[in-house]
Chains A and B, each alone.
Chain A
Amino acid sequence: MKYALLIYENAGSPPALDDAEQRSVRAEYYALRDEPTCVSGGQLQPVQTATTVRVQDGRMLTTDGPFAETKEVFGGYYIFELGDLDAALEMAARIPATRMGGSVEVRPLVEVPQRVED
């Protein structure tokens, strides 16, 4: 099954890390990306860079900022191919954000048929 591990970071001041600590946290994120079961992943630029789009009466409306102001902001994600929820939960617990005031939401992906080449 494919699982999305959605990483939420605390919007408040992040814990101050020195260079060595930052390097080691980054290495943990890379190690997860390099797991053979990792399908894809990505880190988002800070929430200040967000633009929200709606379409009303055929007109595009854009607003500066995220969809909702919340305490936790969406910071990035991984997609993993894993056997069951237990494996996904264990993988999620390895994400550094979970011990730095953030959390990870684990959601299974809907299985869609593969695209047929014609």
Chain B
Amino acid sequence: MLERVFREEWGRVLAALVGFLGDFELAEEAAQDAFATAAERWPRDGEPANPVAWLIATARNRAIDRIRRDRTLAAKARLLDVPDRTEDGLTEMEDTIPDERLELLFTCCHPALSLEAQVGLTLRALGGLSNDEIARAFIVAPETMKRRLSRARTKIKLAGIPFSVPPQHLLPDRLATVLTVIYLIYNEGYGGRMELAAEAISLARVLCDLMPDEPEVHGLLALMRLLHARAPARFSAGEPVLLGDQDRALWDGELIAAGRAGLERALALRGRGPYLLQAAIASLQCEEPIDWPEIAALYTELARLTNSPVVELNRAVAVAESGSPQAALAIVESLDLDDYPYTHSTRAELLRRLGRVPEAADAYRRALALTDREPEARFLRRQLALL
């Protein structure tokens, strides 16, 4: 029970405390104290009527005790003017606790912090992951992650990184940073660590609730849901499976429906941003038969927005699937993306379809030389052997 409350409410409790205390570290300690107290008392006394209000009040009292005891926190003394509240007589304020998770998210994803710190802080502050869990997920030593997060918290305090939703003229850029962080967390998970993918989806759901009119937020959530729905079919016995060969019975139909509903919402909000476009592509890829010309058109639009050669490479694949391998090959050969293994594996596949076998074999070898993931290398060797 407490575990569920922790998973669902850690972010809200911490956000309220950072807002009140103006100090990330103090807030985190106080929140931890409050959850520890709950672990002692709730099994004995029962869960309070409003767990969030109880936790926030308890944490505030703990923090105020610390400020009283600790002279180095004298600057926070003004907070002591707040009248003491008893932990259990709090139910009347339950509806008036503002949800400050959005402020917290924008603080954690402030561009003055390194991207790694943004990701780590977001997982810690909003997702409630422990330092060691985050370190494990990103394959760094726990000590390294601890230092990274602590440096970031110090910078937030000393440099005056605001705890607020950015003003309108800064919002588009800053929201883009938040979405990048969430999608990065998702992609870490997509590469195998599923709990991170689930964490990213749950962060995006919170963000959707808090910013219901932002089409790209709905677009990102829809994209991750649509990709995640196919995740169980992407590998078979450890080997990657191409989209066309995937067992559709393994796809998660409910998740696809939820993703498509989000996509509709984003379109209704007149969105046309990169996440929405990628979600639309992912949605089309869940259909049978797949409308490849439409996907190619969406990639054209996406390439215009992002200027990304990787998007162009994907467009080439869609063009080939639409029946024009020759045109697709021309796209691939125009790309400045020579160190990317997928450039060469795509080129190899196109050359094979055009009957240019020796050139295809060369391209597969080139891709193999650039690949450092073993399952993909095995896949490429199989393709090479089939030529």
Contacts and interface: CB of A to CB of B under 8 A. Distances in A.
Interface residues of B, number: 10
A84 B112 contact: no
Interface string B130-172: 0000000000000000000000000000111110101000100
Contact of A89 (B112, B158, B164): B112
Interface string A50-91: 000000000000000000000000000000000111101100
A1 B164 CA distance: 16
Nearest to B156: A85
Nearest to B174: A86
Chain B at the A interface: SS class = loop
Most chain A CB atoms below 10 A, which of B110, B112, B159: B159
B162 A86 contact: yes
A85 B159 contact: yes
A89 B169 CA distance: 13
B170 A86 contact: yes
B112 A108 contact: no
Contact of A1 (B160, B166, B170): B160
A114 to B, nearest CB: 15
Contacts of A89: 112
Interface in A6-52: none
Contacts of B110: 85
A118 to B, nearest CB: 23
Contacts of B158: 108
B257 to A, nearest CB: 40
A43 to B, nearest CB: 25
Contacts of B159: 85, 106, 108
A3 B162 CA distance: 14
A41 B201 CA distance: 47
Nearest to A110: B158
A89 B112 CA distance: 9
7 contacts: A84-B160, A84-B162, A84-B164, A85-B112, A85-B159, A86-B162, A88-B160
Interface of A: 1, 3, 83-86, 88-89, 106, 108
Instruction: Kindly list the 5 A-B residue pairs having the minimum CB-CB distance in the complex, ordered from nearest.
Output: A84-B162, A84-B160, A1-B160, A85-B160, A85-B161
